[in-house]
Chain A
Amino acid sequence: MYDAPKSLETTLDQKTAKITARDVQVHYGDNHAIKDVNVNIEANTVTAFIGPSGCGKSTFLRCINRMNDTIDICRVQGEILLDGEDINDKRVDPVQLRAKVGMVFQKPNPFPKSIYDNIAYGPRIHGLAKNKADLDAIVEKSLRRGAIWEEVKDRLHASGTGLSGGQQQRLCIARAIATEPEVLLMDEPCSALDPIATAQVEELIDELRQQYSVVIVTHSMQQAARVSQRTAFFHLGNLVEFGDTVKIFTNPEDSRTESYITGRIG
C-alpha cells in the first residue's frame, strides 16, 4: 500500500505535541512509582490514561502541573515540556503553570463560596478581569462552557456546595477553565457521578477538546473508549502501550494491555 500516513503522523506528532515527557521518573521515598515514561500529548486531543490501581497514572498526571511538588518525599526526574518549555525549570512559577494546566479531581470540590465566586476566584487572583463587567462575562462564559449555566444562572449567589454531585463537578470544570488554561487534567472526574451526569461531563469533555488538550485518568475502560482519541496504558509504573484509542481497544499490541482491557487475569 502507501506509507504516507505514518510519516505524516510522525511530523504531526512533533508539530502538535502540547506536552512532551522524556524519561520521566518519579520516586516516593524508596518507591519507584514512574519508570522512564516517554510520551507526546497532542493539542486538541483527549488522551486517556488507564491501568490498574497503583500503576502510576495519577502520579504521572500530577507531574504535568507539578502537583507532586506538594509532597515532600516525592522526587521527579526527567523532562516534561509544555510547548517546548521545561515545566520543572526553576524560573517557572507553579501557580502560573497551574493556571495554564487546570485540574479536575475525582471528588467535586467546590469552594464553600457562592457559585459566582467559585468561578471568579481564579480570574481574580490572576488579574484576568479589568472590572466587574469583565468578571461577569468570564463567569457566564465559563459556566456556559461547563454546560451548567442554564441550571444555575438564577442562583449565582447561592452556595456551590448546595448543588448536586454532577452539577458540582461541572462547576469545578467551569472553574478550571475560567483561567483559560491550555491543558485540562482530569483525575477520574466521573467516578462519583450517576450515568446522566457522567454523560453530560463526557459531552463537555468532547466540546472542550476543540480548545484544550484534555488528559483524563479513568478506571472505566468504556469511558476511556468513549471520550478519548489516544489511550495510554500504565502498568507497575511503566507506560506499556500508547496509541490510537480504536487500536488499543480492538487490537492492542502488548498482551498486558489486552489482559487488562478484556478483564483477564494477566
Chain B
Amino acid sequence: MNDSRHIASAFDRDLDSIHAKILKMGGLVEASIVDSSKALESRDQELAEKVRRGDAAIDALDEQINDEVANLIALRAPTAVDLRTVLAIMRMTSNLERIGDLSKNLAKRSDVLGQLTQISGATGSIRRMTREVEAMLKDALDAFIQRDPDFARDVIERDREVDEMYNTLFREFLTFMLEDPRNITACMHLHFIAKNVERMGDHVTAIAEQVLFYVTGETPEGTRPKADVTSMDMKYNPEAEPD
C-alpha cells in the first residue's frame, strides 16, 4: 500500500478530511451502541433520550461524507488505492448510518421496556451481545486505520458469536413467553432489540469486508459465516416442554 503523498496536496487534504469524518462517525456510532445498551440495562431514560438525539449528528456526518466523496470523484478522478478508499468509505458510512439507526431504535424500545415487568437476565444478555458488537466495530475501524486485512478477517469471523448469542436469546424469549403470556409484550420488544443487535453485527461485518476491499482490492469470496439459524429451524411448538 502506498504511503507517499500526492503531488497535488489539495487531493491529500480532501482525502484526509473524508478519513477524519468517517473515523469521527465511527466513534459516535460506537458511543451510541454503548449508551443505548447501558440505558436499557439501567433503565436510564435520560441516556436513552441522549442516544435518540445523538443520531442526528451521525446522519449529518453520513451526508457530509457522501457529498465530499462525490466531489472528490468528480474533481480528482481517483484511481487505484484512492478509488478503493473512497468506494470503501462510501459503503462504510452507509453501514455506520444503519447501525446508528438500529441503536436509536434500541434506545426507543428501552423507554417502553422501562414501564414493563423486567425479564430476568435478558437485558444483561443483550448488554453482552452489544458489547461484543461494539468491540467488533472498534476493531473493524482499527483494521481500517492500520490497513490490517487479518484483523478485518478476524472481525468477520466473530460475527458468528453474535449470531449464536442471538439464537440463545431467541430460545430464552420463547420460553418466557410460554411460561407466562404477560411476558409477551416485553419479550417481543426484547426480541426486536436482540434482532437489531444481530443486524448491527452484520453491518459491522460488511464494514470489515470493505476494509478488506480497501487494503487488498478484493472482496472476500464465498458466503459470510452465518450462525443465525432462527429463520430456518426454530419453530414454535406448543406441545414441546420448555427446557
A and B physically associate: yes
A251 part of interface (Cβ distance < 8 Å): yes
Inter-chain CA distance A3–B4, complex, in Å, is 35
Contact with B along A243-266 (1 / 0, CB 8 A): 000000111100101110111111
CB of B27, distance to nearest CB on chain A (Å):
28
The reply to whether A264 and B83 form a contact with Cβ atoms under 8 Å apart is no
CB of A116, distance to nearest CB on chain B (Å):
41
Q: State which residues 1-58 of B face A: CB under 8 Å.
A: 2, 4-8, 11
- Inter-chain CB contacts under 8 Å: number: 48
- Name the residue in B78, B80, B218 with the highest tally of chain A Cβ atoms < 10 Å from its Cβ: B80
The reply to whether A266 and B80 form a contact with Cβ atoms under 8 Å apart is no
Residues of A within 8 A of B7 (CB): 263-265
Task: Known A222-B77, A255-B2; judge A262-B217 contact (CB<8 A).
Answer: no
B84 part of interface (Cβ distance < 8 Å): yes
Inter-chain CA distance A247–B11, complex, in Å, is 22
The reply to whether A249 and B2 form a contact with Cβ atoms under 8 Å apart is no
CB of A248, distance to nearest CB on chain B (Å):
8
The reply to whether A263 and B2 form a contact with Cβ atoms under 8 Å apart is no
B241 part of interface (Cβ distance < 8 Å): no
A76 part of interface (Cβ distance < 8 Å): no
The reply to whether A249 and B83 form a contact with Cβ atoms under 8 Å apart is yes
The reply to whether B4 and A264 form a contact with Cβ atoms under 8 Å apart is yes
Residues of B within 8 A of A251 (CB): 80, 84, 217-218
Residues of B within 8 A of A259 (CB): 2, 4
CB of A81, distance to nearest CB on chain B (Å):
32
Inter-chain CA distance A257–B6, complex, in Å, is 14
The reply to whether B6 and A262 form a contact with Cβ atoms under 8 Å apart is yes
B177 part of interface (Cβ distance < 8 Å): no
Inter-chain CA distance A124–B81, complex, in Å, is 51
Q: State which residues 217-251 of A face B: CB under 8 Å.
A: 221-222, 225, 249-251
The reply to whether A262 and B81 form a contact with Cβ atoms under 8 Å apart is yes
CB of A46, distance to nearest CB on chain B (Å):
18
Inter-chain CA distance A221–B11, complex, in Å, is 16
CB of B209, distance to nearest CB on chain A (Å):
16
The reply to whether A264 and B78 form a contact with Cβ atoms under 8 Å apart is no
CB of B93, distance to nearest CB on chain A (Å):
20
CB of B41, distance to nearest CB on chain A (Å):
45
The reply to whether A265 and B4 form a contact with Cβ atoms under 8 Å apart is yes
Q: Out of A252, A258, A265, which one reaches B5, CB within 8 Å?
A: A265
- Name the residue in A257, A261, A262 with the highest tally of chain B Cβ atoms < 10 Å from its Cβ: A262
A1 part of interface (Cβ distance < 8 Å): yes
Q: State which residues 53-83 of B face A: CB under 8 Å.
A: 77-83
- Which chain B residue lies CB-closest to A221? B79
Inter-chain CA distance A262–B8, complex, in Å, is 10
Q: State which residues 1-45 of A face B: CB under 8 Å.
A: 1
The reply to whether B79 and A249 form a contact with Cβ atoms under 8 Å apart is yes
Contact with A along B204-243 (1 / 0, CB 8 A): 0000000000000110010000000000000000000000
Residues of A within 8 A of B6 (CB): 262-265
The reply to whether B79 and A225 form a contact with Cβ atoms under 8 Å apart is yes
Q: State which residues 105-130 of B face A: CB under 8 Å.
A: none
Residues of B within 8 A of A221 (CB): 77, 79
Inter-chain CA distance A258–B221, complex, in Å, is 24
The reply to whether B79 and A261 form a contact with Cβ atoms under 8 Å apart is yes
Task: Known A258-B80, A264-B2; judge A250-B217 contact (CB<8 A).
Answer: yes
- Which chain A residue lies CB-closest to B213? A251
Residues of A within 8 A of B80 (CB): 249-252, 257-258, 261-262
Inter-chain CA distance A36–B84, complex, in Å, is 32
Q: State which residues 150-202 of A face B: CB under 8 Å.
A: none
- Chain B interfacial positions (CB closer than 8 Å to A): 2, 4-8, 11, 77-84, 217-218, 221
Closest 8 CB pairs of A and B: A251-B217, A264-B4, A249-B79, A261-B79, A258-B80, A262-B82, A258-B2, A262-B80
Q: Can you show 28 pairs from A to B with CB atoms below 8 A apart?
A: A1-B221, A221-B77, A221-B79, A225-B79, A249-B79, A249-B80, A250-B79, A250-B80, A250-B84, A251-B217, A251-B218, A252-B80, A255-B2, A258-B80, A258-B81, A261-B79, A261-B80, A262-B2, A262-B6, A262-B78, A262-B79, A262-B81, A263-B6, A263-B8, A264-B6, A264-B7, A265-B6, A265-B7
| 5 further A-B pairs in the complex, CB-CB below 8 A; given A249-B83, A264-B7, A265-B5 | A221-B77, A249-B80, A258-B81, A261-B80, A263-B8
